[in-house]
C-alpha cells in the first residue's frame, strides 16, 4: 500500500488530492481539499503574475504541504497548468516556491495536460471513441481518441476565468450581448480545428465545471443515483442547464442545487463551451468522467512503477475485482458461485428457458461473484446494503443504468424487494425486470449450493423429464447445508423452468 499526494495548481483552484493505492483495491481517493485561488486574475496584460498572486500560491502550498505530511504521503507531486504556464515570470514564481515552501513545481505542458485527462478517461470508462473537453480557469483542452488511442489534441488559451474577464467584466452572468459575443468567439475558435467538425462521437466532460453541469441537471430532475462518473446528457439536457443558468439571477444561482458557490460567476462560460462543442461535433451524448488530469497523472506514475496496473482493456473487470476485495468477498467461494451460475445458465439456454444477450449475461456472472457483498456492513440487511453500495458507487466501466442493473442482480432477494429497488429509478421495462428476476433467482439458488463455503459441489446436470425436471448435483464431502438450502431456494429455478424441479445429490 502506498500514498501519493498531488497538488493541482490550476488557474481557478488549487487542490490537494491524496490517493491510496494497492493491488487489491486499486486507486482510492482518501483526501480532497481545495482553495479557489483564481490565480489567472493576478496576471496583468503582459502575463506577469503579481506579488499578491504569488503570495496566495505560497500560502496555499504551505498549508497543503502540511496536510500531505500528516497523511504520510510517500510522493508529493505539485503540478501546475495554465496560470503559471502562461506567466511571463514563471521562473521567478517557481524559484520563490522552492525557497519558501521547499517543493519543486512540475510545469505541465499543454500537450501533457490533454494527455493526462484523456488517459484518465480511457482507463476508467468503456468509451472507445470520443472527444474530451477539460475547461479550466485559463485554458481549455480538447482531445480526440479512437479505439482508446489519442489521435488529436489541442489546448486553447482561454478558460472559464479568462472568458469571464473577456466578456462579462462589469456585466451580469446572463447579459444577452455578452453571451452572444462569447458564443460567436467560441464558434470561430473551434471551427478552425478541422478534426472537430461532425465527428459524431461521445463528448466527455472532465473537471469541476463539467461535474457542476451534470450535478445541476441531476438536481433539476431529482436524480436518484449518486455520482457523475458515467452519467450522460443529451443536447436538450445541456440546453436545459444553459437556460436555467441564463434565466436565474446571480443571487438565485448561489442557492442552485448542484452548483458550487465558488463557480457561480464562471459556470456560464463553461456550459456555453459544452453547448457549442456538442453541436459542432454532432455528439452522440455528453458523458462525464469524474477522473481527469489529477487521476490521469497519478495513474500514469503508478503504471510506470507497477507493470500491469490500469490496463484500458480491463477497466470494468479491474473495477469489480477491486470492489470485491474492498468488501472482503471470499474469492474461492465467489468463483464457485460463478462457475455454477455459468453452468446453469448454459444448460437453461440450451433448453430454451433463457434468451439473454451477452451484456446481461456478463452482469449476471458478475453478480454471482459479488452476491450479497453488503453483508460486510450488516448480514441482517445484506440485500439492502448490496443494492445501495453498487447502485451508488462510482464503478469504472459501467454506465449508471448498467450499475443499477448489476445492483438489482447482486442484491436479489425476492420479487417484492426487486420491485422496491427498481421503483427508485423506474429505468427498466417489465420485460427487463422479468429477465433480472429470473437471473437473480438463479444467483440466489447457486448461492445455496455453496452456503457452507466449503465448495462441496463440483458438477450439476439439468435434465428434462416428461413431466418435470431433475437437477443432478455431484458432490464430495458433506453437503448437509447445501441440501437444505437448495431445496428451500429451488422455487427460483422452478419459476424459470415453469415446472417442478427435483433435486438429487449424488456422491461423486
List, edge to edge, every strand of the sheet that includes 469-475. 457-464, 469-475, 501-507
Locate cell 458433506: which residue?
478
Residues 6+ away with beta carbon under 8 Å from 4: 18, 19, 21, 73, 74, 75, 76, 77, 298, 301, 302
Kindly compute the dihedral angle of the four CA atoms of residues 126, 132, 134, 140, in this order, to the nearest 10 degrees: 170
- Residue-by-residue DSSP string for 404-459: HHHHHHHT---HHHHHHHHTTT--S-HHHHHHHHHHHHHHHHHHHTTTTSS--EEE
**Residue 78 has what pLDDT?**
97
Pick the CATH number of 2-108 from 3.10.20.30, 3.30.420.40, 1.10.1270.20, 3.10.270.10: 3.30.420.40
Q: Which residues pair with 28 in a beta bridge?
A: 20
pLDDT digits (tens, 9 = 90+) for 296-329: 999 999 998 888 789 899 999 999 999 999 999 9
Under CATH, domain 314-507 is a member of which superfamily?
A: Hypothetical protein af1432 (1.10.3210.10)
**Residue 110 has what pLDDT?**
84
Within 13 Å of residue 81, how many CA atoms lie on the same side as its CB?
35
**Residue 330 has what pLDDT?**
94
Taking alpha carbons only, the member of 495, 427, 508, 410 closest to residue 460 is 508
Taking alpha carbons only, the member of 34, 8, 3 closest to residue 19 is 3
Cite the residue boundaries of each domain of the chain with CATH code 3.30.420.150.
111-294
In angstroms, the first-to-last Cα distance of the chain is: 43
pLDDT digits (tens, 9 = 90+) for 394-414: 999 999 999 999 999 999 999
Question: How far is the C-alpha of 507 from the C-alpha of 500, rounded, in Å?
Answer: 23
Cα 2 vs. chain centroid, distance in angstroms? 22
Topology, domain 111-294: Nucleotidyltransferase; domain 5 (3.30.420)
The length of the chain is 508
Extract the C-alpha cell encoding 142: 480538447
**Residue 12 has what pLDDT?**
81
**Residue 86 has what pLDDT?**
85
Question: How far is the C-alpha of 264 from the C-alpha of 231, rounded, in Å?
Answer: 22
Tell me the torsion sign for CA atoms 300, 304, 306, 310.
positive
pLDDT digits (tens, 9 = 90+) for 199-245: 999 999 999 999 999 999 999 999 999 999 999 999 999 999 999 99
Instruction: List the chain pLDDT tens, one digit each, 508 residues.
Output: 899 999 999 888 899 999 999 999 999 999 999 998 888 889 898 999 999 999 999 999 999 999 999 999 999 999 998 889 889 999 999 999 999 999 999 999 988 988 999 999 999 999 999 999 999 888 899 999 999 999 999 999 999 989 999 999 999 999 999 999 999 999 999 999 999 999 999 999 999 999 999 999 999 999 999 999 999 999 999 999 999 999 999 999 999 999 999 899 999 999 999 999 999 999 999 999 999 999 999 999 999 888 878 989 999 999 999 999 999 999 999 999 999 999 999 999 999 999 999 999 999 999 999 999 999 999 999 999 999 999 999 999 999 999 999 999 999 999 999 999 999 999 999 999 999 999 999 999 999 999 999 999 999 999 999 999 999 999 999 999 999 999 999 999 999 999 999 999 999 8
Question: How far is the C-alpha of 286 from the C-alpha of 277, rounded, in Å?
Answer: 10
Percent helix / strand / coil, the chain, rounded to 5: 55, 20, 30
Amino acid at each position: 500500500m502506498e500514498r501519493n499526494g498531488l497538488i493541482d495548481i490550476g488557474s481557478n483552484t488549487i487542490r490537494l488530492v491524496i490517493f491510496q493505492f494497492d493491488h487489491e483495491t486499486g486507486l482510492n481517493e482518501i483526501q480532497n481539499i481545495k482553495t479557489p485561488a483564481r490565480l489567472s486574475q493576478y496576471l496583468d496584460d503582459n502575463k506577469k503574475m503579481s506579488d499578491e498572486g504569488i503570495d496566495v500560491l505560497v500560502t496555499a502550498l504551505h498549508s497543503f504541504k502540511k496536510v500531505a505530511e500528516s497523511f504520510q504521503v510517500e510522493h508529493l507531486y505539485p503540478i501546475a497548468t495554465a496560470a503559471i504556464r502562461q506567466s511571463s515570470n514563471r521562473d521567478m514564481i517557481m524559484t520563490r516556491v522552492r525557497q519558501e515552501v521547499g517543493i519543486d513545481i512540475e510545469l505541465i505542458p499543454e500537450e501533457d495536460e490533454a494527455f493526462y485527462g484523456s488517459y484518465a478517461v480511457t482507463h476508467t470508462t468503456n468509451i472507445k471513441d470520443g472527444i474530451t473537453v477539460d475547461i479550466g480557469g485559463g485554458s481549455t483542452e480538447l482531445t480526440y481518441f479512437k479505439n482508446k488511442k489519442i489521435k488529436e489534441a489541442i489546448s486553447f488559451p482561454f478558460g472559464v476565468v479568462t472568458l469571464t474577464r473577456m466578456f462579462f467584466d462589469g456585466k451580469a452572468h446572463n447579459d444577452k450581448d455578452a453571451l452572444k459575443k462569447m458564443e460567436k468567439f467560441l464558434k470561430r475558435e473551434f471551427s478552425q480545428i478541422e478534426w472537430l467538425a461532425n465527428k459524431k462521437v461521445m463528448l466527455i466532460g472532465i473537471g469541476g465545471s463539467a461535474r457542476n453541469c451534470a450535478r445541476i441537471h441531476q438536481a433539476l430532475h431529482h436524480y436518484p443515483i449518486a455520482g457523475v462518473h458515467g452519467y450522460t446528457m443529451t443536447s436538450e439536457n445541456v440546453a436545459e442547464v444553459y437556460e436555467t443558468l441564463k434565466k436565474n439571477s446571480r443571487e438565485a444561482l448561489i442557492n442552485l442545487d448542484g452548483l458550487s458557490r465558488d463557480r457561480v460567476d464562471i459556470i456560464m462560460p463553461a456550459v456555453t463551451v459544452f453547448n457549442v462543442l456538442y453541436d459542432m461535433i454532432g455528439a452522440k451524448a455528453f458523458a462525464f468522467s469524474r477522473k481527469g488530469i489529477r487521476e490521469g497523472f497519478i495513474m500514469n506514475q503508478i503504471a510506470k512503477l507497477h507493470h500491469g496496473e490500469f490496463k484500458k482493456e480491463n477497466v470494468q473487470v479491474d473495477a469489480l475485482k477491486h470492489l470485491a476485495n474492498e468488501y472482503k468477498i471470499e474469492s474461492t467461494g465467489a468463483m464457485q458461485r460463478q462457475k455454477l451460475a455459468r453452468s446453469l445458465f448454459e444448460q437453461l439456454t440450451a433448453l430454451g428457458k433463457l434468451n439473454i444477450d451477452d451484456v446481461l449475461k456478463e452482469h449476471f456472472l458478475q453478480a454471482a461473484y459479488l452476491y450479497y457483498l453488503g453483508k460486510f456492513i450488516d448480514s441482517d440487511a445484506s440485500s439492502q446494503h448490496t443494492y445501495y453500495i453498487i447502485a451508488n458507487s462510482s464503478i469504472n466501466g459501467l454506465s449508471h443504468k448498467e450499475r443499477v442493473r448489476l445492483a438489482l442482480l447482486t442484491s436479489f432477494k425476492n420479487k417484492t424487494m426487486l420491485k422496491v429497488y427498481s421503483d427508485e429509478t423506474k429505468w427498466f421495462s417489465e420485460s427487463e425486470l422479468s429477465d433480472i428476476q429470473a437471473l437473480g433467482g438463479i444467483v440466489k439458488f447457486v448461492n445455496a449450493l455453496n452456503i457452507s463455503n466449503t465448495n462441496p459441489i463440483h458438477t450439476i446436470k439439468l435434465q428434462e423429464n416428461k413431466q418435470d425436471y431433475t437437477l443432478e448435483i455431484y458432490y464430495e464431502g458433506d453437503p448437509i447445508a447445501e441440501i437444505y438450502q437448495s431445496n428451500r431456494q429451488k422455487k427460483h429455478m422452478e419459476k424459470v423452468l415453469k415446472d417442478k424441479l427435483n433435486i438429487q445429490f449424488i456422491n461423486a
